[in-house]
Chains A and B, each alone.
Chain A
Amino acid sequence: MNMEAGETLSIWFFIGISLLVNGILVAGAGIYELISPPQNPVVLFSVHANVWWGALMGILGAIYCYHFKPHRASAK
């Protein structure tokens, strides 16, 4: 959904970058906790929410980055 006129990057591209970077950081922290479990884990630590939530954000962000990357969006 390229919403803006002219040469402005799509807002969804920015959102893709944000989701991708945050997703990598969150999933990375979760994987580190898998390798080195914390002394005081949070409630429901066993479901490893940061791993799958971070991965989900990262995948969504990557899709948005690809779909709304500047050249592809302007070609459309």
Chain B
Amino acid sequence: MLPLATFASTRLVHLSAVDGLIVVFYFAFVLAIGFYLKGRARTSEDYFMAGREMTAWVAGLSFLSANLGALELMGWAASSYQYGILAAHWYWIGAIPAMLFLGIVMMPFYYICKTHSVPGYLQLRYGKATRTLSAVSFAFMTVLMSGINMYSMALVMKVVLGWDIHFSIWVSSLTVAVYVGLGGLRSAIFNEVLQFVLIWAGALLIPILGLVEAGGWHGLQTRVAQNAAPAYMHLWSTLGSFKDNPMGIHWTGIVFGLGAIISFGYWTTDFLVVQRVLSAHNLRAAKMAPIIGAGFKMFVPFIVILPGLLGIAVLPFKLTGESVAVATGGHSYNEVLPLMLARYCGPGLLGLGITALIAGFMSGMAGNVSAFTTVWTYDIYASLIHKDCTDKQLVTMGRWCTVLGVLISIGTAYLVMHFLSIMDYVQALFSFFIAPLFATVLLGMLWKRTTSAGGFWGLLAGTASSVGMWAWVKVDPSALRYVALSPYARDMAENMYRALWSCLVCALVTVLVSLLTKPRPLSELTGLVYGASEIPSNGEAAFYQRPIFWAAVVAVVFVILNILFW
């Protein structure tokens, strides 16, 4: 996430008439899709699960697109300028293993139990208390995060294009409200796939032209070594010590904190992304969707990380942190992507690049809003407030809830505008739930002995321990040496280790409480737990049609990439 609080005040690019036309066409087109799909969202299954008729490709691209927000693009381009190729860890080890694990191991359980949401799975496996804890935390955090993203994006539009903040907030959020409110998840998915294509069409030219200017890969390496340091081009070789790399992180934090906990927590239990896969039309498509997503995810660094590195190589001035940029009137790290866009893209291409940023923002927001709507309607409204509501009432509630979710997000955006520190707190709050939830879901899926009490108390203890560690370091910064295992650790390292410990606490408490309480009969666990469920086989499918084959292909490419950039 970008720390955009004090972005420089001059606009970076000027749009021509054709650029404006491209942006206007984009808004008109997504609205038209929403109106077109309105008639296809009659039942709750249509509205919340897109009729469960998406193919692997559509579900997979939507799964990836919901995560590919504009702030993600700009934020990680900034990080790669600041930290070098180390930022690619968040796309490779921080995503690929988890996405493959979701497709091969976890998806069968999510899919065959026919749940509408991750909290819905928790209800089936652990009971109402765990579902409610998870649903309430997810629903509130999702709309709050959506508001923060909205505010940050409006700020980006102000800096890049000179647009009024209020105009950006209201136009973009109302557009999302209209097309998601009308067409439900199907409309969100259609637009996400469209946005995915636009993001690539708008952003791919930057690395291509950047490499031409830098003199190819070798030229890039030479220039980065001259302008920064040779270590900026190495993925693993500088991670032996906290002090040897600009991120101040150790390989154990990357492997165990990011690779094993944070990424698995996000990609396998965050309903924002899992919902897209649940819309698949059969189990094979549901298993293939995250694998297809992983295949594309491996190449996202080409349009995100590479522009940051190229910025080090070709920009004639140095980018700095926010405070220095404001004091000196220069440019900050966060501006690297728009600066590169303005460097290479003339009329037309500039509009396409800006549309890519807007599309990224709107796909992320639509993801948040549709996930919030589903969790609120199924896991809070129909579960706790109006238990015997009809299918029609669910759809009506979904539509109203979409509007409500957008309005809460707008409210959060204005709140953040006046109290910037809220941004840090809400982001921290979100991280409190993700890592422990992974342990809860995983133990529930893989261990028959896990009990309802074990799941609930484990999740509560894991979340409480995460909050406790965060508060400890806030009150006493020297506590970092205990939480992150080194006084040289920085913010990112602290997040990695806090996630690791909270997940372990959750797992430990879940196991202990489960062993002390009565297990559920095996017959109640059918379709929910490994060993108690019959997973439909692939039948006579050829090897190249099997998800495991493609997961292996993606895994091999993933290993090769890590070795290449070692």
Using CB atoms and an 8 Å cutoff, list the residues of chain A in contact with chain B: 1, 3-6, 8-9, 11, 14-15, 17-19, 21-22, 25-30, 32-33, 38, 41-45, 47, 49-50, 53-54, 57
Contacts and interface: CB of A to CB of B under 8 A. Distances in A.
Interface stretch (B32-40, B268-276, B319-327, B541-549): B32-40
Contact of A45 (B51, B197, B212, B346): B346
Contacts of A26: 18, 22, 348-349, 351-352
Contact of A49 (B57, B209, B314): B209
Given A22-B198, A32-B347, 8 more contacts: A8-B40, A19-B197, A22-B25, A44-B212, A49-B344, A50-B347, A53-B205, A53-B349
Given A1-B57, A9-B36, A33 B346 contact: yes
A30 B194 contact: no
B566 interface: no
Given A15-B197, A19-B197, A50-B346, A4 B53 contact: yes
A45 B343 CA distance: 10
A29 B19 CA distance: 9
A4 B279 CA distance: 12
Contacts of B194: 11, 14-15, 18
B213 interface: yes
Contacts of B26: 18
B157 to A, nearest CB: 20
A28 B348 contact: yes
12 contacts: A3-B55, A5-B53, A11-B190, A15-B193, A22-B25, A22-B355, A30-B348, A43-B314, A43-B344, A47-B209, A49-B345, A50-B345
A42 B343 contact: yes
Nearest to B19: A29
B29 interface: yes
B201 A22 contact: yes
A50 to B, nearest CB: 5
Nearest to A38: B346
Interface of A is mostly: helix
Contacts of B51: 5
A8 B51 CA distance: 12
Given A3-B54, A9-B36, A14-B194, A49 B29 contact: no
B53 A29 contact: no
B225 to A, nearest CB: 22
Interface in B168-202: 190, 193-194, 197-198, 201
A54 B349 CA distance: 8
Given A19-B201, A22-B22, A57-B201, A33 B347 contact: yes
Contacts of B205: 49, 53
A69 to B, nearest CB: 15
A27 B401 CA distance: 42
Interface residues of B, number: 40
B493 to A, nearest CB: 37
A28 B352 CA distance: 13
Interface in B325-351: 342-349, 351
Contacts of B40: 6, 8
A12 B278 CA distance: 21
B346 A3 contact: no
Contacts of B342: 42
Contacts of B29: 14, 17-18
Nearest to A5: B53
Indicate the member of B281, B343, B349 with the most A CB atoms within 10 Å.
Answer: B349
Nearest to B197: A15
A8 B348 contact: no
B349 A50 contact: yes
B16 interface: yes
B348 A43 contact: no
B21 interface: yes
A25 B36 contact: no
Contact of A18 (B37, B55, B197): B197
A24 to B, nearest CB: 10
Given A25-B18, A53-B205, A14 B349 contact: no
Contacts of B213: 43-44
A3 B58 contact: yes
Contact of B212 (A8, A21, A38, A47): A47
Contacts of B18: 25-26, 28-29
B209 A29 contact: no
Contacts of B197: 15, 18-19
Contacts of A32: 347
A76 to B, nearest CB: 14
Sorted from nearest, which 6 A-B pairs have the closest CB atoms? A29-B348, A26-B348, A3-B55, A29-B347, A29-B18, A50-B348
Contacts of A29: 16, 18, 346-349
A29 B344 CA distance: 14
Contact of A25 (B281, B344, B346, B348): B348
A49 B343 CA distance: 12
Nearest to B51: A5
A22 to B, nearest CB: 6
Nearest to A48: B346
B348 A44 contact: no
A27 B201 CA distance: 13
Interface in B57-75: 57-58
Interface centre among B342, B348, B352 (most CB of A within 10 A): B348
A39 to B, nearest CB: 12
Nearest to A31: B348
Contacts of A47: 209, 212
Contacts of B55: 1, 3
Interface in B190-224: 190, 193-194, 197-198, 201, 205, 209, 212-213
